[in-house]
Chains A and B, each alone.
Chain A
Amino acid sequence: GDKVKQSPSALSLQEGTNSALRCNFSIAATTVQWFLQNPRGSLINLFYLVPGTKENGRLKSAFDSKESYSTLHIRDAQLEDSGTYFCAADSDTNAYKVIFGKGTHLHVLP
């Protein structure tokens, strides 16, 4: 099975609403990263997390290593938040290796 499982696979949101994306891990991840890929393909790193939480503007992310999951909360969704969100966890055998989830396709509707 997938070592990094993202949910949901796709999501449509009305502008101004809130949502949460989730990653579950079947590996002993020590760090988690969240990325946004825009329609052009460019990848932007949103968060780099050790266990705990981080917040940046309308985005907030949490990583619970004991329960093996991470969440990304989007508050007051805007049109420019549309894209594909990926989470990635470091491999439990090599901290330099990361394993990506399959992504959540987010579409924010006007």
Chain B
Amino acid sequence: AQTIHQWPVAEIKAVGSPLSLGCTIKGKSSPNLYWYWQATGGTLQQLFYSITVGQVESVVQLNLSASRPKDDQFILSTEKLLLSHSGFYLCAWSPQFNQAPLFGEGTRLSVL
């Protein structure tokens, strides 16, 4: 069975500090991978998607970057956090692009 694991579960970081959030999918080769962000009490926004290793497409510009260093790994990062980066980050995967994504448990980020 496929599993998706996000880390960390929660982070409290200072404005201007770096950030790295991770996501690993086990049990499925060449998944489509996605990052989403949700401001506290707000709606969801898709941030990035990746169809294959080494290729990441940006959907929304939030001064964040993403990378896919391995087939089963998706990393979200920034060198300098902003207050506006606070919120809930969700990673998801799908077998193909026209199939429903399955989500990780999310990372709750507070930037102070």
Main secondary structure of the interface of B (DSSP, over half): strand
Q: Given A95-B97, A96-B49, decide whether A42 and B103 contact each other with a Cβ distance below 8 A.
A: yes
Which stretch from A10-18, A60-68, A99-107 is at the chain B interface? A99-107
Question: What residue in chain B is nearest A6 (Cβ atoms)?
Answer: B43
A-B contact count (CB 8 A): 49
Q: Are B106's CB and A42's CB within 8 A?
A: yes
Question: What residue in chain A is nearest B99 (Cβ atoms)?
Answer: A48
Band of interface residues on B: 20 to 34
B98 CB–A CB distance under 8 Å: yes
| Of A44, A97, A101, the contact of B46 (CB 8 Å cutoff) | A97
Q: Bound state CA distance, A43 and B59, in angstroms?
A: 20
Q: Are A101's CB and B51's CB within 8 A?
A: no
Q: Bound state CA distance, A47 and B59, in angstroms?
A: 22
Q: Are A44's CB and B43's CB within 8 A?
A: no
Contacting residues of chain A (28-69) with chain B, CB-CB under 8 angstroms:
31, 33, 40-45, 47-48
Q: Are B97's CB and A96's CB within 8 A?
A: yes
Question: What residue in chain B is nearest A2 (Cβ atoms)?
Answer: B43
- Give 20 CB contacts A-B under 8 Å: A31-B98, A40-B105, A41-B38, A41-B88, A41-B106, A42-B105, A42-B106, A43-B44, A43-B90, A43-B103, A44-B103, A45-B103, A47-B100, A97-B46, A97-B49, A100-B43, A100-B44, A100-B45, A100-B46, A102-B42
Smallest CB-CB A-B distances: 4 pairs: A48-B100, A45-B100, A100-B44, A43-B103
Chain A residues in the interface with B (C-beta under 8 A): 31, 33, 40-45, 47-48, 86, 88, 95-103
Other 13 A-B pairs with CB < 8 A, given A43-B103, A48-B98, A96-B32: A33-B101, A41-B105, A42-B103, A43-B106, A45-B101, A45-B102, A48-B99, A88-B44, A95-B98, A96-B97, A97-B59, A99-B46, A100-B44
